[in-house]
Amino acid sequence: MKIIKDGIYYVGVKDEQIDLFEGQYSVPDGISYNSYLLLDAKVAVMDTVDAFFGEEWLNNIAEVLGERTPDYLIVQHMEPDHSANVKAFLERYPTAAVVGNEKTFAMINAFFGEVVTNKVVVKDGETLSIGKRSLTFAFAPMVHWPEVMLTYEATSGVLFSADAFGTFGADYGEKIDLEKWKSEGRRYYIGIVGKYGAQVQRVLQKAAALDIKTICPLHGPVLEENLGFFIGLYDKWSRYEAENEDVLIAYTSVYGNTKKAVELLAEEIKKAGGSVTVRDLARDDISLAVAEAFEKKKIIFATTTYNADIFPFMRTFIEALVERNFKNRRVGFIENGSWAPMAAKIMRGMLEKREGLSFCEQTVTVRSALNAANEKEIALLAKQLLES
- In the complex, the residues that contact ligand FEO under the rule CB under 6 A are 77, 79, 81-82, 144-145, 163, 218-219
Q: How far is the CB of 219 from ligand FEO (least distance, A)?
A: 6
Give the integer Cα–Cα distance in Å for 297 and 269. 14
Angle at the Cα of 143 from the Cα atoms of 233 and 246, rounded to 5 degrees: 30
Q: How far is the CB of 28 from ligand FEO (least distance, A)?
A: 18
Q: How far is the CB of 213 from ligand FEO (least distance, A)?
A: 23
Closer residue to ligand FEO in complex, CB, 161/303: 161
Give the integer Cα–Cα distance in Å for 210 and 38. 20
**Cα–chain center distance at 251:** 23
Q: How far is the CB of 167 from ligand FEO (least distance, A)?
A: 11
Q: How far is the CB of 162 from ligand FEO (least distance, A)?
A: 8
Taking CA atoms, 32 is separated from 25, 167, 331, in Å, by: 14, 9, 36
Closer residue to ligand FEO in complex, CB, 81/377: 81
Angle at the Cα of 104 from the Cα atoms of 5 and 106, rounded to 5 degrees: 160
Residue 58 belongs to what H/E stretch?
Answer: helix 54-65
Closer residue to ligand FEO in complex, CB, 96/218: 218
In 3-state terms, what secondary structure has residue 206?
helix
Q: How far is the CB of 190 from ligand FEO (least distance, A)?
A: 14
What end-to-end distance do the CA atoms of the chain give, in Å? 53
In 3-state terms, what secondary structure has residue 253?
coil
Give the integer Cα–Cα distance in Å for 292 and 284. 12
| Residue 224 burial (10 A CB sphere; 0-12, 13-18, 19+) | middle
| Residue 327 burial (10 A CB sphere; 0-12, 13-18, 19+) | middle
Closer residue to ligand FEO in complex, CB, 82/329: 82
Give the integer Cα–Cα distance in Å for 152 and 125. 10
Closer residue to ligand FEO in complex, CB, 30/312: 30
Q: How far is the CB of 204 from ligand FEO (least distance, A)?
A: 18
Question: How many CB atoms lie under 10 A from the CB of residue 256?
Answer: 9
Closer residue to ligand FEO in complex, CB, 39/218: 218
Closer residue to ligand FEO in complex, CB, 82/186: 82
DSSP H helices, 247-304, are 257-271, 286-295
Closer residue to ligand FEO in complex, CB, 219/315: 219
Give the integer Cα–Cα distance in Å for 266 and 278. 8
Note whether 136 and 158 are within 8 A (CB): no
Q: How far is the CB of 388 from ligand FEO (least distance, A)?
A: 36
Q: Name the residue number minimizing CB distance to ligand FEO.
A: 79
Closer residue to ligand FEO in complex, CB, 104/374: 104
Q: How far is the CB of 76 from ligand FEO (least distance, A)?
A: 10
Q: How far is the CB of 234 from ligand FEO (least distance, A)?
A: 15
Closer residue to ligand FEO in complex, CB, 71/81: 81
